[in-house]
Amino acid sequence: MSANREHFSSRLGFILAAAGSAVGIGNLVGFPVSATKNGGGAFLLVYALFVAFICLPVMMAEMAMGRKSQKDPYGAYKDLSGGDKRWSIAGGLAVLTPFMIAVFYMVITVWIFGYLVQTAMGNLDALANPSHFGQFINQTSVFWYMLLVGLIVNLILVGGVKQGIEKAAKFLMPTLFVLLTGLVAYVLTLDNAMAGVRYYIVPDFSKMDASVLNGALSQAFFSLSLGMGILMTYASYISKKDDIVGGAKMVAITDSLVAFIAGLMVLPAIFSFNPATNTDELSESSVSMIFEFLPKILLATQSDIGYVGASIVAFIFFLLVFFAAITSLVSIVEVPTSALMEEKNLSRKTALLVLAASTGLLTVLCTMSFGMVDWLTQFVNYGGANKSLFDLVYDVFYDTILPLNGLMVCLFVIYRWKKSNLNAELEQGCEHYKGSFGEKYVNFSLSTFIPVILLIIFVNTVSTKFFAFSIFGF
């Protein structure tokens, strides 16, 4: 199958697709808000250090595994371990995780799409009512929105790597950037905008503690699409001549830059609405910010530009978030798609149909777990509380398994595949990497402190989430 494996047409196509994957809902709202709450510039600095010194080596390792094997994550673990059965568990997890994350991300993307449509229909005033969200997610109209979002994602994916994923990324990513800078330019003209910028940027090191550091690292890790099998899959679609090291850096920089710039949109908007905002009270959850808090703020711009103007600003905002979400969704569904194509010899169309049916069913169940159906809403009880099916999927796969997958990548690359093979793969297409400080650093970090840190995060998450007990005190 590898001989006729699909490929991106250019390095730029790969970078845009991978950056499109990394830039998501969390970049646009979650990141700016948690930066502001957790030390502003101090958080930004720590985050940048984590991206450069902890996430980048893991990213390069994932990409090297994908390009070397030219396989989906399951196939990559299988091939590079020489068929060692023990590693197929890691390979299986690297495909199951994106499958499940696709479900939870789909639920949120559907809501975004719903808000986008509602704004276009002139209903911003209804969205701005704080009780609206709770009603909205329990209306049957969400299933129609779900059908449309599913259709869009599949229309992109059925086009394949070049004509689907790459084409979509080449349109969506530049558009996203234009929309974002446009909104920043507008928001910065509002009264008190600078107060927001100040809260966002001025460092407050007193906020830094173990839990903030843990949060920053987890956020950087998730934001960059690590542990999801995505970068492995996308890198399996690039040629041996391409530069992984440079590509990984570009993806990390783009993702972090978009997150940073988004702060220049969100914080000024919040402070111009209420100059006396207490940042401690802002929710760090992207969901409650986007659906419960920001519509109110977007509506308030009507005193400046009228209701139609405010609706246009809100439309641009939801479109921006929707574009960011779609490219992430596409990337995450591509992982099980490529696994089914490679491992089960299915055609792309059949693989997509199988996934549409299976993720579709789970997405419907998750969507009904916000009150529509009781047993799904009170699905399980752990960590001292009742949890819905949606919470369970989120807690298990997004919060817990991701760092575990990252840990597997480190251990696999260093102890099974071996450093020399990793280095050889990264040197291909990037000659100056050979013998460089970067190479030594990647080897050292991946074999020492990065796996230790990922292990600590994993153990800490399991104990706090599922047993309501904090081993490390954060």
Helices (H), 73-209: 73-80, 86-120, 124-127, 132-136, 141-158, 160, 167-187, 193-201
Give the nearer residue to ligand TRP in terms of CB position, either 21 or 119. 21
Give the nearer residue to ligand TRP in terms of CB position, either 87 or 397. 397
Give the nearer residue to ligand TRP in terms of CB position, either 69 or 109. 109
Consecutive H or E run containing 381: strand 380-382
CA distance 80 to 105: 30
Rounded to the nearest 5°, which phi and psi values hold at 380?
A: -140, 170
Convert residues 94-123 into a mask of x (bound to ligand TRP by CB under 6 A) and - (unbound): -------x---x------------------
Q: For the CB of residue 25, give the shortest distance to ligand TRP in the complex, in Å.
A: 4
* DSSP secondary structure, 194-221, as one string: HHHHHHHHS--GGG--HHHHHHHHHHHH
Among 18, 22, 103, 289, binds ligand TRP (CB under 6 A): 22
Q: Which residue stretch of 55-63, 146-154, 324-332, 360-368 sits at the interface with ligand TRP (rule: CB under 6 A)?
A: 324-332
Give the nearer residue to ligand TRP in terms of CB position, either 36 or 311. 36
Q: For the CB of residue 225, give the shortest distance to ligand TRP in the complex, in Å.
A: 4
Q: Which residue stretch of 18-26, 72-80, 307-315, 370-378 sits at the interface with ligand TRP (rule: CB under 6 A)?
A: 18-26
Q: Which residue stretch of 23-31, 47-55, 433-441, 446-454 sits at the interface with ligand TRP (rule: CB under 6 A)?
A: 23-31
Q: Which residue stretch of 20-28, 174-182, 191-199, 444-452 sits at the interface with ligand TRP (rule: CB under 6 A)?
A: 20-28
Query: Closest Cα to residue 304, out of 265, 266, 269, 279?
Result: 269
Q: For the CB of residue 232, give the shortest distance to ligand TRP in the complex, in Å.
A: 13
**Cβ atoms 429, 244 nearer than 8 A:** yes
Q: Considering only residues 254-293, where is the footprint of ligand TRP by CB under 6 A?
A: none
Give the nearer residue to ligand TRP in terms of CB position, either 225 or 388. 225
**Cβ atoms 102, 24 nearer than 8 A:** no
Q: For the CB of residue 383, give the shortest distance to ligand TRP in the complex, in Å.
A: 23
Rounded to the nearest 5°, which phi and psi values hold at 29?
A: -130, -50
CA distance 371 to 363: 15
Give the nearer residue to ligand TRP in terms of CB position, either 128 or 266. 266
Give the nearer residue to ligand TRP in terms of CB position, either 13 or 429. 13
CA distance 221 to 71: 23
* DSSP secondary structure, 65-87, as one string: HHHHHTS-HHHHHHHHTTS-THH
Give the nearer residue to ligand TRP in terms of CB position, either 269 or 332. 332
Give the nearer residue to ligand TRP in terms of CB position, either 332 or 453. 332
Q: Which residue stretch of 42-50, 153-161, 326-334, 410-418 sits at the interface with ligand TRP (rule: CB under 6 A)?
A: 326-334
Q: For the CB of residue 23, give the shortest distance to ligand TRP in the complex, in Å.
A: 6
Give the nearer residue to ligand TRP in terms of CB position, either 190 or 396. 396
Among 25, 110, 173, 244, binds ligand TRP (CB under 6 A): 25
Radius of gyration of the chain from its Cα atoms, rounded to whole angstroms: 22
Q: Which residue stretch of 25-33, 60-68, 149-157, 335-343 sits at the interface with ligand TRP (rule: CB under 6 A)?
A: 25-33
CA distance 358 to 237: 25
Q: For the CB of residue 26, give the shortest distance to ligand TRP in the complex, in Å.
A: 2
Q: For the CB of residue 329, give the shortest distance to ligand TRP in the complex, in Å.
A: 6
Q: Considering only residues 190-229, where is the footprint of ligand TRP by CB under 6 A?
A: 222-223, 225, 228
Query: Closest Cα to residue 258, out of 314, 175, 191, 189?
Result: 175
Q: For the CB of residue 358, give the shortest distance to ligand TRP in the complex, in Å.
A: 17
Half-sphere exposure of residue 470: CA atoms within 13 angstroms, side-chain side = 6
Q: Should residue 27 be labelled a site residue for ligand TRP when binding is judged by CB under 6 A? A: yes
Neighbour-count burial for 264-292, b at 16+ CB within 10 Å, e otherwise: bbbbbbbbbbeeebebeebebbbbebbbb
Among 13, 20, 24, 215, binds ligand TRP (CB under 6 A): 24
Consecutive H or E run containing 438: helix 437-447
CA distance 70 to 407: 21
CA distance 46 to 49: 5
Among 332, 352, 426, 453, binds ligand TRP (CB under 6 A): 332
Give the nearer residue to ligand TRP in terms of CB position, either 256 or 277. 256
**Block residue for tokens 């979650």:** 30
Give the nearer residue to ligand TRP in terms of CB position, either 99 or 271. 99
- Strand-pair category, 385-387 with 380-382: antiparallel
Q: For the CB of residue 215, give the shortest distance to ligand TRP in the complex, in Å.
A: 14
Which residues lie near ligand TRP (CB under 6 A)? 21-22, 24-27, 101, 105, 222-223, 225, 228, 328, 331-332
